[in-house]
Structures are given as C-alpha cells and as structure tokens.
Structure 1
Amino acid sequence: MATRRSVSKVGPETPSDTELLELLAAVTPVADHKALRPWRLITLRGDDRRRLGEALDEAAGTIRGPGEHNAKPFRAELLIAVVVSPKEHPKVPAWEQHATAAGAAHLLELALWRAGWGVMWRTGLLTNAPAVRAAHGLAAHEQLMGWLYVGSINDSFRTRLLGSNRPALDPRQFLGSMPPAQTQA
C-alpha cells in the first residue's frame, strides 16, 4: 500500500470484466455501517468514453468541429465510474455512506495497483453536471464521485517507480489526541 502511486498516463491493456470481479472481492469488506452497500461502479470502455466526452462538452458548453472529440475520457481504455447511492437509514447519515463509497473506490485502486495495473482517480467541476449524470444513468439521489482511469503501466515508468526513493510522508502529522477536557468555571 505504501508504494501506491497515481499513474496519470496508463497504457492500452486493461483488466477484463472477469478480472475486475475478482478484484472486487477485495473491495466488498469496506467499512459499511449497517451493510447498506451505498455504492456501485460503472465500467466505460470503447464508445462509452466518446459519450462521456460529449456529455462533458455539453456540460461545459464546448462545441467541437467535425471529427473532433473531447480527449479526456480517452486517456485510458477503461474508466470505472464511482457512484455513491445512499440509502435512507435512521442510524447512517449520508456523509457516512459517501465515506463508504470513497473507501470502496480506494480499496479498488489498491487492489488494481497490487494486481499490476496503473490507476488515476479523476474528478472535475463537471462531474455531477446534468448531462454527465444523465450519460451515466444516475438516479436523483446518486452522485458521481469521479472515474478511475485504469490501464497498463509502461515498463520504463514501472522501473522508475521501483527505483524511487521518494520518502513517505511523516505519519506524525496525521495522528493526534483529543485536547484536555475543559474545566467549567
């Protein structure tokens, strides 16, 4: 886990849907209060990426010339849309369900990384624009949390990663304790 890196430029090979299902076994134990499973994933391959590009352009008001397309969704052959799908529950607030969905997405990133795939979680200001939501078929209560761009890792980049001596962040900056109790006057 400590070696995981976002890979902004992935290659053309991708895991199959069968391989993705196997990797999802590592995701399903995500912390999930009341086991609501408030998340789902949508794979985008092939022409789905063109449709996403058109939706992003519509949301941005971008008009392209004949034969032009939005290149962003083509940065990878496989995009996995992460969707939070909260369920009404008196003991589980929506924010907690969003955290579960984010946790599932990150576990999938880690599982893909462990399996040798490059991954980059991308978002943007238009992620939940009406046209983008419609392209993904989201229900009114759902939100798109972004896309995992997945693909192979270039051999030279993999070698560079393995030889990296980038130090880990000092974990002490993230761990604290509660402040002392306030005395009542």
Structure 2
Amino acid sequence: MARLNYQTARFLISAPTLAQCPADSGAEVAFAGRSNAGKSSAINALTRQKALARTSKTPGRTQLINHFSLGENAELRLVDLPGYGYAKVPEKVKLEWQRHLSDYLQRRASLRGLVLVMDVRHPLTEFDQTMLGWADDQEMPVHILLTKADKLKRGAAASALQQVRSRLREWEDLVSIQLFSALKGQGIDTLEQRLDAWLLD
C-alpha cells in the first residue's frame, strides 16, 4: 500500500472561518482536542517537526483553523482545529469558535476523518462527546489518540484504553482508538497507517 511522508508537511494557511479555508478539494484530516490534550505535540510528533503546530504553555492558543499541506501540492492536508476548554476567552468568543468548528465539520466536503486527541488520564470530556456527536451526525470516521500514555504505567494505560473502548462500543463502526505518546514516539506508525487509509482512499 502507498505510504505518505508526513515529514513533508508545510504550513499552508490559518483561517478564522470556513469561508477562508483553502479550496474544498482533495482530501484532508482534521485534529481536534481540548486545549491541553497534546494536539499540537501529536501533530509535531507525526511530522517529525518540533514547531510545525505551535505548542504553548497557555492552553487555547489555536484559535484559527490551521492547514498544513503534505508534499508539493495542497491537495492533501492536515488541519489543526481550534482547541478550547481551558482557554481564557469570553463565553461569546467560545460560542463563535464552536459555530466555526461545527460549520467546518458539517460542511467541509474534503474532510475524510477526524483525529480526536484526548489525554489518556482524562478521556471523554464533555468537549470530546460533543465532537463525537457531530461526527456521528455526519457519519464521519473518528480515530481517537489517547495521548500522554507515557504518564501512566503500561497496565494502567492498557486499562484506560479498554475503558474508553467499552464506553464507545455503540460507535465502534465509526471509531478506532489507540494509545499515543509524543514524548516517546509511541503509536506514530499506527496513526500514519490510519491517516494513509483516509487520505489515499
């Protein structure tokens, strides 16, 4: 099977709204997650680039829809969606983000799948469940990354994975789940295979 080289990822554009996103053609995969779930670190680990997605000590820095192209043409893309939850922003701004996020997930024709990033120690927050609900409405496949797996002993991480799996049993035709550690490089190959299947389909 063909494999993509994620190290070729390059920043393309930051868009505040769906209307300002790149042309809706080709294929893209979006990453979503609460502000401190390790989303930027996961994208940087996948692309083997230290600062492609900006990680920040202040959760909630990603307030734009950031697009990265894979290779020379912009027909294959990774998308970093606004993270929120801990972001110290007014409620009105949060609702605005939510509207743009919902717009993007419901109307973006080139979107092939959603990578939902959750801290393995705090999975399935209210935000995660909202995202899963949206994905379910759109019949959009979701791949869950349980990040920061290095923070737990192996047995505890495996047990957390099992618990999330059993809570999502009703969605098992749409949802796949894995453990991931950006720090240790754990799970990158599994993530690449999932993205290849979506982007090269």
Establish whether TM, by shorter chain, passes 0.5: no
Q: Give the TM-score, by structure 1 length.
A: 0.26
* TM-score, normalising length: structure 2: 0.25
* Larger RCO, structures 1/2 (Cα 8 Å, 6+ apart): 1
Structure showing greater radius of gyration is 1
More strand by share: 2
